[in-house]
Structure 1
Amino acid sequence: MDKIDQYIHAATRQNTRRSYQSAIHHYEVEWRGYLPATAESVARYLADYAETLAINTLRHRLAALGQWHIDQGFPDPTKAPIVRKVFRGIQQLHPVQEKRAKPLQLEQLEQVTTWLDGAIVAAGAEHDSAAQLRHTRDKALVLIGFWRGFRGDELARLEVQYVAALPGEGMTCYLPQTKGDRQFKGSTFKAPALSRLCPVAAYQAWVDLSGLESGAVFRSINRWGKLGDTGLNPASIIPLLRSLFAQAGILDADEYSAHSLRRGFANWATSNGWDLKTLMEYVGWKNIQSAMRYIDGADPFGKKRIEAGLLPVELQTKSNDLLRNITDQEIL
């Protein structure tokens, strides 16, 4: 690979490359399509999977196919009118309600943290270094993920040399690249030290116990307590959290994901008076649409607003009688 190829390779995020390769493999190997593709073959591909794949998955497959053709110097068949019409037809005939991760509430965060604290103490008493490492790592991951509103892939890409923790004050986390960072400027995020459920103390405890000085903050840990050389795969964070929540006694643990930490913090912040601009700046959202996808209204069913306008039956009856008397007098 020459220098030009290296720079081109670096311009695309690893997760995107991996997912695009998987999409191309699906088209070529599983569906047995030919590349370069024609617009008609792409349209047939969409039609064949319209009932089994989600709209977002089909959209991603189109993006991967389009990028492959652009990279290889071929015309992009995914932009053809027939492909666009087929895709719109699928959206019309197979609408799917967007599924959102269940937000982790502050009380549940405390429940998980309390369980982890007990598990850390128990592992230390039993001289189980692997379990002690794992629980200490998980505590740092959950608390940083919640209070910083990080995505799963951001937690996986966090590196020790880019984290500066000041006990009792706060921590800064630098990510060389984040989602939507088209200019590759990187972003710095800050989190405060807290009187309880503290992400700074949890991070410091994990780094001290693991002895990490550089590289990925959150890594795999085998049964003998050996740490992996690279960061956790972002896809592994979801089952990790669900298993952890289930052990801590959180109901319906399978309804949570890495986004539950981000949504949980967003809902906590808005319910505690944070305005939208402050929340967007803290989390790193660039547009309101992105922020609103994570925030649930304080009164999601409108019950409080409607109930406030409902009078008790006795008062409503008196009010109606009064109105009738006024109307009768006006007629007389």
Structure 2
Amino acid sequence: MVMETRQARQYASAPSLFAPLAMHDVDRYLEAATRDNTRRSYQAAIRHFEVEWGGFLPASADSIARYLAEHAQTLSINTLRQRLAAIAQWHVSQGFPDPTRAPHVRKVLKGIQALHPAQERRAKPLQLAQFEQLVVWLDAQIAAASMTGNDHHLRVLARNKALVLIGFWRGFRSDELSRLQIEHITVEPGRGMTIFLPHTKTDRNHAGTTHKAPALSRLCPVAAYVAWLAASGLAAGPVFRRIDRWGRIAEEGLQASSVVPLLRKLFQDAGLPQADRYSSHSLRRGFATWANANQWDLKMLMEYVGWKDVRSAMRYIDAADPFAQHRIEAALAPPPATPPSAPPPERRPTVAPKLVPETRLTVDLYIERNSKFVRGKSKARRWIEQFCLSQYQMRVFEQRRPRYEIVMPFAAGPELEKAIEVLLADMHENADLCNCFIEVTLHDPLTDTHWS
């Protein structure tokens, strides 16, 4: 009896091991699982549906179909899809059936896409010539501000120069630039800078990513960053901040939404034509186009910028000869006349083509519904094939229980492991969106290695 009482006191004295987690902690972790940009865009979508359009939540499939139809001519198809995703998330989180999955809602969306096709709008890339023109203009303005002792203008110019140079050479978007923290950046003089981002758009596991930017003889992002810290006196917190008319620097960082207007005004002041066609994506597209023109292979470019799939990378690269004019003209040109007395052309040894590392994998896929009351197996398979496997030269071996062969552009090693990890996560995510679960196994027959 004494032992029982003593043990009871021991357990009672350790409440931290057994006490339930406070609800506010649960809410905090749930909130952290959703990105700030996603949360804000979903809140705006729900507000538009309820307040501006006058819809009611929970909603019926008919009301959502009417909502789509009434905005078909004013909103892009991508915006409508985002609105549907927000409405669906609201219903699921509140425990209601998801009306956006109703067949006629999907048919209405498909009809809108058919009747109102729109070409994807892409930001104008900041080409190297315009990039240099911008930096030269900034340097001239900084020199003038230094001579006149205009500290306010000097701070603004130093911030803008660092933002443009880091954004271009690292291919950062506005949300990444706005979230840079001084304590997460390390400068190695004469070599470069290391930048840690705790989370990014493609970092689904919130593991954080590390980027490196080089120190350059000109157009140097490292020197611009150091100069901005010296001009601002900042030692911690957000790197890029708002500066008011009196030259006071805000405590909080720039909002991602304010970066694009800032860049457009900067480009306009520097005399760049069509300044309104630029955005923060212009920095990334400009760097990707420059790297492609300077013989960076796709794999190297994807590793440097942080792209996980080929489709994302190709959207940012502008071909050096977009209309294929030079290639076709070269093929149409008549061959040069050979003089009769000319010696026969010298036979050059055939150079073996450069082998591109690749790994062929077989993929065994099993799809099942989460519940017998939902449908989605066919859609889950279609989405997995279209959005996950097709980018890897997919071939279908068996139709009844899906079996495929894919080719990954990596040899065995960490890059292959990372690509497979991302592929598996994408496949599971697409299955979840269709109310299904999957069992998937990847197999390398050469090494007899399995992943699942």
TM range (shorter): over 0.9
Give how far 1:310 is off.
1.6
Of residues 104, 112, 117 in structure 2, which corresponds to 1:90? 112
Of residues 136, 140, 151 in structure 1, which corresponds to 2:158? 136
Deviations along 1:94-125, one digit per CA (max 9) or x if unpaired, are 00000100100111111111111111111122
Q: 2:75 is matched with which residue?
A: 53
CA distance in 1, matches of 2:251, 2:50: 33
Q: 1:37 is matched with which residue?
A: 59
Q: 2:266 is matched with which residue?
A: 244
Q: How is 1:91-110 mapped onto 2 (pairs within 5 angstroms)?
A: 91-110=113-132
Structure with the greater relative contact order (CA < 8 A, sep ≥ 6): 1 or 2? Answer: 1
SS of the residue corresponding to residue 96 of structure 1 reads coil
Q: 2:250 is matched with which residue?
A: 228
Q: 1:257 is matched with which residue?
A: 279
Q: 1:181 is matched with which residue?
A: 203
Asked whether 1:204 is paired with 2:226, we answer yes
CA distance in 1, matches of 2:335, 2:70: 58
Query: Which amino acid is the alignment partner of residue 239 of structure 1?
Result: P
Structure 1 stretches of at least 4 aligned residues deviating more than 4 Å after TM superposition: 312-315
Give how far 1:19 is off.
1.0
CA distance in 2, matches of 1:88, 1:44: 14
Of residues 278, 291, 313 in structure 1, which corresponds to 2:313? 291
SS of the residue corresponding to residue 149 of structure 2 reads coil
Q: 1:167 is matched with which residue?
A: 189
Asked whether 1:146 is paired with 2:168, we answer yes
Query: Which amino acid is the alignment partner of residue 103 of structure 1?
Result: P
Q: 1:327 is matched with which residue?
A: none
CA distance in 1, matches of 2:101, 2:252: 38
CA distance in 1, matches of 2:333, 2:302: 39
Q: 1:16 is matched with which residue?
A: 38
SS of the residue corresponding to residue 235 of structure 1 reads helix
CA distance in 2, matches of 1:72, 1:284: 35
Q: Percent identity?
A: 63
The structure carrying a bigger helix percent of its residues is 1
Q: 2:325 is matched with which residue?
A: 303
Q: 2:389 is matched with which residue?
A: none
Give how far 1:253 is off.
0.8
More divergent stretch after superposition (208-217 vs 281-290): 208-217
Q: 1:329 is matched with which residue?
A: none
Give how far 1:314 is off.
11
SS of the residue corresponding to residue 276 of structure 2 reads helix
Asked whether 1:80 is paired with 2:85, we answer no
Tell me if structure 2 keeps the 8 A contact 1:167–1:201: no
CA distance in 2, matches of 1:55, 1:5: 32
CA distance in 2, matches of 1:299, 1:109: 20
SS of the residue corresponding to residue 258 of structure 2 reads helix
Tell me if structure 2 keeps the 8 A contact 1:172–1:188: yes
Query: Which amino acid is the alignment partner of residue 102 of structure 2?
Result: A
State the number of aligned residues: 315
Query: Which amino acid is the alignment partner of residue 233 of structure 2?
Result: G
CA distance in 1, matches of 2:27, 2:58: 21
Give how far 1:228 is off.
1.2
Tell me if structure 2 keeps the 8 A contact 1:152–1:234: yes
Query: Which amino acid is the alignment partner of residue 219 of structure 1?
Result: R
CA distance in 1, matches of 2:224, 2:43: 37
Give how far 1:313 is off.
11
Q: 2:90 is matched with which residue?
A: 68
Deviations along 1:15-73, one digit per CA (max 9) or x if unpaired, are 11111111000000011000001111111100010011011110110111111111111
Aligned-CA RMSD value: 1.3
Give how far 1:147 is off.
0.2
More divergent stretch after superposition (142-151 vs 13-22): 13-22
Deviations along 1:178-228, one digit per CA (max 9) or x if unpaired, are 012111100000011000000000001101211111111000000111111
SS of the residue corresponding to residue 309 of structure 1 reads helix
SS of the residue corresponding to residue 291 of structure 1 reads helix
Query: Which amino acid is the alignment partner of residue 28 of structure 2?
Result: Q
CA distance in 2, matches of 1:128, 1:307: 55
Q: 1:195 is matched with which residue?
A: 217
Asked whether 1:112 is paired with 2:112, we answer no
Query: Which amino acid is the alignment partner of residue 246 of structure 1?
Result: Q
Query: Which amino acid is the alignment partner of residue 123 of structure 1?
Result: A
CA distance in 2, matches of 1:247, 1:313: 50
